[in-house]
Chain A
């Protein structure tokens, strides 16, 4: 009996934390993505997808900028004490975005120009990095 109680308690706690984390992420990350959308729209981008998923990962925003198709990663930090959002894009993350972009582009014309941009939001300040990274050969 005591044993069941413990496991019951554990699972309850685990679930509680999960809800808490997801709520936090949704509220801050989601807000950031919305802010990024607004920012890009003001600059003439047409956002076509939000949070597009593939088995390899997720792309925050997909937009058209003129004739180019742009995959946008949004990075946000509440403050710059850990190097700000600019430092947060790892190689693994880049690879996931590129792999997801490949999935999205299946069947598309190979002549369609594609770009990877990054929008960073650090302590409320929004910056856009066009052509932030490319496919490594």
Chain B
């Protein structure tokens, strides 16, 4: 008359074990779920009732109490449907358990079908830490859950399948995925080749440096010069994800319910392009109940491209400041706080002024100084301080416009970027969660960014000349390190520092 089964709940990127307890007793017939359930869980009663009836069992006309323990942990999501339904069947003596211990997640539909849930990967990773005989998941989540090593994954299509596993009557073969073949499936996204962009050689070089070190980049130029095209071409020169990176990204996408069934591992570097009307909850994460990941977390280990930067709500842009430094975001709400990783590469584009033609040799700017000032003020100084590379994307000359596009293709640049990243991976092998120069901390800077004498002198001069803030200084150092890595240099030489400084100078030219 009493049964207990094991399930799990996702809280941010982590997962907690939840025991689903069920008691079936006499008295007035009712079915209640206790243990701090959110709305969707109390609603699950009607789904569970129908699913049990339509799977050939009978829903007991008894007083049924389901408890989700620990009772002080807030629970949401539909993953408890399946374990609760099974616990009722066990407590009503319609199903007998084999001695094997399973963890169970899944949503049920009215006809007894088991539907996919969010967060199967974090739950599978948690299950792998327990000594379990298996994890029972909806078939749609099986491949994703199987990315976690250390626990057999049993896929189920219907409530009856899950019951058969629990009783030991019919246990399917556990799902396995081949990590290597999944990673190999990753090729450069065939979006657009960078050689299709006419001219803009300086901007292309800046993109290469940004991609190689994961640095933040701001492109400034008149409308139609190719800023958005360049940004799109960036996706094609990004280095491939390592398995550790891919697993982290997949974990976020699993929580967001965005993992594709056929390609369980996210192998493409994320490239997120939110529209400028985005809310701050959409950008950094949030929403009702447990905060979900926002665009900055969905762009983890990838690119967050903000086109028309000044058009974004200023409050939204300011919320990016802290995650840009910390590479993580802590979302605190009444009763819960969750942390999501947010190590993204910021790429932004803007016009130099409201009309877009400031500094254009052919078309005069029609903005008043006041208008320009107001426009620029929409992006704050502290925000710009976090940009590593400023690059001008000027109007194309007549020749450039008429000639066929020239320059290297994405494949060649991507190969260089990949090599530079390889150097960085090797160098930072011992440091957990750090993969690129942009993620270096002060200790890493001291250890890896050794300047030779001439380079040191040049940088000292630059501190005075450009009035570099402490943050800007470390950013110049990191960019110089990346440029040296691209050139295959061990130590940072003056030319590397000079190029890094040049990407700050564009900022000064514009007097932003």
Q: Measuring CB to CB, which residues of chain A are less than 8 angstroms from any residue of chain B? A: 68, 98, 101-102, 105, 109-116, 130-131, 134-137
Contacts and interface: CB of A to CB of B under 8 A. Distances in A.
22 contacts: A68-B61, A98-B28, A101-B28, A105-B28, A110-B25, A110-B27, A111-B25, A111-B27, A112-B27, A113-B27, A113-B29, A114-B26, A114-B27, A114-B28, A115-B29, A131-B29, A131-B59, A131-B61, A134-B28, A134-B31, A137-B30, A137-B32
A134 B62 CA distance: 9
Contacts of B28: 98, 101-102, 105, 114, 134-135
Contacts of A111: 25-27
Contacts of A102: 28
A134 B61 contact: yes
Contact of A137 (B31, B61, B62): B31
B31 A112 contact: no
User: Which 6 A-B pairs have CB atoms at the shortest separation, nearest pair first?
Assistant: A135-B30, A131-B61, A111-B26, A137-B32, A134-B29, A113-B26
Given A68-B61, A113-B62, A136 B26 contact: no
B297 to A, nearest CB: 37
Contact of A113 (B30, B59, B61): B61
Interface in B6-57: 25-32
Name which of B28, B29, B59 has the most chain A CB atoms within 10 A of its CB.
B28
Contact of A116 (B26, B29, B31): B29
A81 to B, nearest CB: 29
- Of the listed residues A112, A131, A134, the one surrounded by the most CB atoms of chain B closer than 10 A to its CB is A134
Contacts of B59: 131
Interface in B90-131: none
A116 B27 CA distance: 11
Given A130-B61, A131-B59, A134-B61, A114 B31 contact: no
Contact of A115 (B25, B31, B61): B61
Interface residues of B, number: 11
A113 B26 CA distance: 4
A123 B294 CA distance: 60
Contacts of B26: 109-114
Contacts of A114: 26-29, 61
Contacts of B27: 110-114
B52 to A, nearest CB: 12
Nearest to B45: A137
Nearest to A131: B61
A110 B28 CA distance: 8
A136 B30 contact: yes
A27 B16 CA distance: 63
Contacts of B31: 134, 137
B458 to A, nearest CB: 73
B34 to A, nearest CB: 9
Nearest to B34: A137
Contacts of B25: 110-111
A101 B30 CA distance: 13
Contacts of A115: 29, 61
A116 B151 CA distance: 45
A105 B29 CA distance: 13
A2 B473 CA distance: 108
Contacts of A98: 28
Contacts of B62: 113
Nearest to A136: B30
Nearest to B42: A137
Contacts of B32: 137
A105 B32 CA distance: 20
A111 to B, nearest CB: 4
A132 B321 CA distance: 58
Nearest to A133: B29
B154 to A, nearest CB: 32
Contacts of B30: 134-137
A55 B25 CA distance: 28
A16 B61 CA distance: 45
Interface string B55-82: 0000101100000000000000000000
A109 B62 CA distance: 14
A101 B29 CA distance: 11
Q: Which of B25, B27, B62 has most A Cβ within 10 Å?
A: B27
Contacts of A68: 61
A114 B61 CA distance: 7
B91 to A, nearest CB: 14
A111, A116, A131 — most chain B CB neighbours (10 Å): A131
A132 to B, nearest CB: 10
Nearest to B1: A111
A88 B206 CA distance: 74
A83 B154 CA distance: 46
B196 to A, nearest CB: 62
A126 B61 CA distance: 22
A74 B231 CA distance: 71
Nearest to B62: A113
A114 B62 CA distance: 7
Contacts of B29: 113-116, 131, 134-135
Nearest to B29: A134
Which of B26, B31, B59, B62 has the largest count of A CB atoms less than 10 A from its CB? B26
Nearest to B27: A110
Nearest to A102: B28
A23 to B, nearest CB: 36
Nearest to A134: B29
A109 B27 CA distance: 8
A135 to B, nearest CB: 4
A71 B61 CA distance: 12
Contacts of A131: 29, 59, 61
A111 B25 CA distance: 6
B26 to A, nearest CB: 4
B65 to A, nearest CB: 10
A137 to B, nearest CB: 4
